[in-house]
Amino acid sequence: MRKNDHAEPIKGVINKLCLKDIEIKGKRVFLRVDFNVPLDENLNITDDGRIRSTLPTINYAIDEGAKIIIASHLGRPKGRVDMHYSLAPVAKRLQRLLKKEVTFLPDCIGPKVEEAVSKMSNGDIILLENLRFNPGEEANDEKFSKALADLADYFICDAFGAVHRSHASIVGITKFLPSACGFLLQKEIEYLQGVVNNPVRPFVAILGGAKVSGKIDVLLNLTNNVDKVIVGGGMAFTFLKAMKYNVGDSLVENNMLDLALTIQEKLASKGIKFYLPVDCVIAQSIEPGAETKLVTTQEIPNGWRALDIGPASVKLFSEALESAKTILWNGPMGVFEIDALSRGTFAIAHAVADAYALTIVGGGDTDLAVSRAGVAESISFISSGGGAALQLLEGKELPGLSALTDR
């Protein structure tokens, strides 16, 4: 059980049909999921979190006696069959997790698929081959969308990680079938839309990652409701350079300097506290084993680049989190994949996990960071979709959500 299970999602406005709104007993349900799992060189699944996250939706459909046709993409095969991206390993893992037979089909449309679907009994599960083996998927081709829709009576979308894509199995299929969201998609929207629209306060946003340009719209969208903004990672040094600090060879977007100052002024005018690193770990290259030094952010020498936040920044940021009731974290504090540059990110992960608050981690490799820090079980909610989460936090429309049937 997670430490923060006491923390309920902030209810977002779900004005779409949801799985429990429809009667699926004996019906053929086309379930679009995000099984885009990482594979090693031997095509073994290295992390099955995305499969596990859809199990509540699948098990509900089994219990209700639906005939379940599951579809997903995996990787970027670019519209052609490439067995490195086959969903065959996923079928085996899904079968093991469900403790129930999963029939894997080597295509996603065509006579053989139609025949297999026609023979399904209530509670049966079919997993189709990678949707992106067909060029019609990413092209949102109407003919391909119709062929997918013809397999089922209802469309259920539980692929939050793909709802920012206007693809056939996300958007096109909804033209032909009554469409609803699964439990994972519903939960993602409730947490992320809720934190943007109506957070429990004080609300602290932690933003990291490489570039300011990737987070500008998130920052601007959150200014209406956030109480504190903490910025770390490479993007912090664009703000620091805009304040006339010498940042050495640290990553800076020079075309963003004026905008960085404008954002700070906007936050200040609204009384929002803004935190930047006060010290950092620097190196001359991003290589394992490279020499590192700890300096203040005002003393980064030329030829050196900041690659992690330092202990004083960790203390400053952790104290800023102490009073929080809602924490949203998107983007690491440094190059945490390298041990010598991981301490800042991992320390913030522990501070977020220890906070008595609703804690939401979304995208930007932050989910991997909290997992490596060993605190994933103590986070209230970890979003399953990087790009989709970012788009939602920016206040932008998600095509795959908009396409679902209104209540």
Q: Which residues contact 179 (CB under 8 A, 6 or more apart)?
A: 17, 154, 155, 156, 157, 173, 403, 404, 405
d(Cα 132, Cα 169) in Å, to the nearest integer?
A: 10
Helices H, strands E: what count in the chain?
15, 15
Amino acid type, 299: E
DSSP symbol at 383: -
d(Cα 307, Cα 332) in Å, to the nearest integer?
A: 11
DSSP symbol at 8: P
Q: Cis before residue 178, ω within 30 degrees of 0? A: no
DSSP symbol at 248: T
DSSP symbol at 327: E
**Cβ pair 232, 225 in contact under 8 A:** no
d(Cα 112, Cα 330) in Å, to the nearest integer?
A: 44
Phi-psi region of 32 (alpha: psi -120 to 50; beta: other; left: phi over 0): beta
Q: Give the residue ranges of DSSP H helices in 6-125.
A: 49-52, 55-63, 88-98, 111-118
Amino acid type, 136: G
Residues 159, 333, 217, 272: is their CA dihedral positive or negative? positive
**Strand pairing class (305-309; 326-330):** unpaired
d(Cα 8, Cα 381) in Å, to the nearest integer?
A: 10
Active site residues: 50, 211, 364, 387
Work out the angle at residue 363's Cα, subtended by the Cα atoms of residues 358 and 365, and round it to the nearest 5 degrees: 115
d(Cα 169, Cα 73) in Å, to the nearest integer?
A: 9
Query: What is the helix (H) or strand (E) element at residue 147, kind and residue range?
Result: helix 142-149
